[in-house]
Amino acid sequence: MDLSFLRDHRKRGKAIEKIGYTERSIFPVLTANELLPKMRSRLLTQRQSRTALKGDDFQNLYGELVGQFAEFVQLLPTAPGYKLAGMLDEGMVRSLLALDVCAKHAKYKKHSLFIYAAFSVALLQDVANVITHQKITACNKKGVFKAEWLPLAGSINRIASNYKIHFTGGQRSNYHDYLTPLLARQIMPEVGFLWLLSDESIFANWLAALQGDRDGAGGLMMILDLIKLEQEKIAKQKLEMMPLDVELEETPETKAGDEFVHWLRDGLGKGDIKVNDEKGFVHHVEEGLLIELPEAYQAFTEKNKKYKNWRVVEKGVKALGLLSLGVMADKTQRYKSDYPVDKKGKLSATGKSSYFASEKSRGGQSAKDLAKRVKEKGVRKGRVISSTGLVLPPTKIPEVSGMLNNLAGYEHFVERLHEIQNSMGAAAPKNVFQL
């Protein structure tokens, strides 16, 4: 197999250094031309003869697909800590290998539709990692949060010129395989998708392959297996595509927020910050992780004396946008607490009932007297992180607490609907039928 388009770039120290990044890094939204400069795009044009297509057909099917894929995955790595543009590079390598593999099989080398199916499956195979491995926030050039990117609504270039990456643990989600064909349909050029749809058998194989269904993928699974063998050779030889030369920036606008999140994640990972503890400020509720505020900010400032006022931390976290993601976005949530004691060690409403009864049976203080000394703390409030993996390792997530119940019921889902409608702007539904 021809791997001449790959190099051992470990020797190019300066180029490799430029791929370093942190969660404070601000990434520019790039165009397809910036993500696929000539040295990359020519790798595909050099293989045009292997597609069995010519001229405009090649551009409309292959050029458009690769360009839309590049603008969708941008500089995202394949997993936390991996090199930038890893999703783009690995997708490109797999798709180029697909053309090479098909060219070696007499059954497929002239079958233009099968070749396109194999190429597109190889390219889009892991596109669901965009959703399942991280949360992407659109921001301004200073890193200040603007909105959460919802990949199923379209590429990020429609809502922002910059973005930040917040990793969610990198574990494969249960719905990963179901997302892949949805995102593939979104990225595919319409003419390419309709072309696949024109052959029922190949289209069924294509859908099955995208979902990892070996039994239903037919000949496409054989192509993917051969590609995987080539990828293993590439990994052993430590080969990769030439890194993109991209300058990243970090600004102080979100510094306090970043340090708070690092402290929270580190404390939860080590067990220093307890979850579902009556005296704690982090609780696993049905909607995600409830972070009690301002208690969490105050605990952070007690450990980090350089922050004299917890409101500085609050401002940094707001600019970061981490507590503005998911179903419970941008709203303080209130939960009725059934913990026997409150955060200060005082008896709560539930605790008082049993304590009053005990005191009365023993001839102790009356409920009225005790009520003067014990202040009720029956409500916990704060913000909910719906993607728990943003701050808590998947292996550390405890059972949902049975001691807290959301006082808002399911109203937050309607609120989220309105937020989504507002964020859609020009893409909002048009009233084609009025009830």
What per-residue confidence (pLDDT) applies to 327?
46
Confidence of residue 10 (pLDDT cuts 50, 70, 90): low
Query: What pLDDT shows up at residue 374?
Result: 38
Nearest residue to 327 via CA among 258, 391, 410: 410
Q: What confidence score (pLDDT) does residue 34 get?
A: 93
Terminal CA-CA length for the chain = 60
Domain ranges of the chain: 9-236, 252-342+378-424
Tens digit of each residue's pLDDT (9 = 90 or more) over 380-409: 899 888 888 888 877 778 899 988 988 876
Of residues 307, 276, 144, the one with CA closest to residue 294: 307
* b/e sequence 362-398, b meaning 16+ C-beta within 10 Å: eeeeeeeebeeebeebeebebbbbebbbbbbeeeeee
Q: Average the pLDDT over 147-162 and give the result.
A: 90
User: By percentage, how much of the chain surpasses pLDDT 90?
Assistant: 45
Q: Name residue, tokens 């707001």.
A: 318
Q: Which pLDDT does position 426 carry in this prediction? A: 53
**Fold observed for domain 9-236:** Hypothetical protein af1432 (1.10.3210)
Q: What is the pLDDT confidence band of residue 174, given thresholds at 50, 70 and 90?
A: low
Is the peptide bond prior to 294 cis by the omega test (within 30 degrees of 0)? Answer: yes
Mean pLDDT of 311-322: 88
CB–CB of 98/122 below 8 Å?
A: yes
Residue with tokens 């419970």: 328
Q: Is the pTM of this model over 0.85?
A: no
List, for residues 38-81, the tens digit of each pLDDT value: 878 888 888 999 999 988 999 999 999 999 999 999 999 988 77
Give residue 323's pLDDT: 74
Per-residue confidence (pLDDT) for residue 283, from 0 to 100 = 94
Distance, CA of 146 to CA of 159 (rounded, Å):
9
Ramachandran assignment for 76, one of left (phi > 0), alpha (psi -120 to 50 degrees), beta (any other): beta
E strand or H helix that includes residue 219:
helix 219-236
pLDDT tens-digit map of 265-310: 999 989 999 999 888 999 999 888 999 999 999 999 999 999 989 9
C-alpha to C-alpha distance for 235 and 27, rounded to whole angstroms: 27
For 190-224, what is each residue's pLDDT tens digit?
A: 999 999 999 999 999 999 999 999 999 999 999 99
Q: What is the pLDDT of residue 266?
A: 92
The mean pLDDT of 364-386, rounded to a whole number, is 60
Q: What is the pLDDT of residue 350?
A: 47
pLDDT at 113 over 90: yes
Sheet bearing 333-337, strands edge to edge: 282-285, 288-292, 379-385, 333-337, 404-406
All residues at 6 or more sequence positions from 17 whose CB lies less than 8 Å from its CB, including other chains? none
What confidence score (pLDDT) does residue 427 get? 56
Mean pLDDT across the stretch 108-128? 95
pLDDT of residue 9: 54
Out of 90-104, 269-283, 418-432, pick the least confident.
Answer: 418-432
Please report the pLDDT score of residue 340 as a whole number: 72
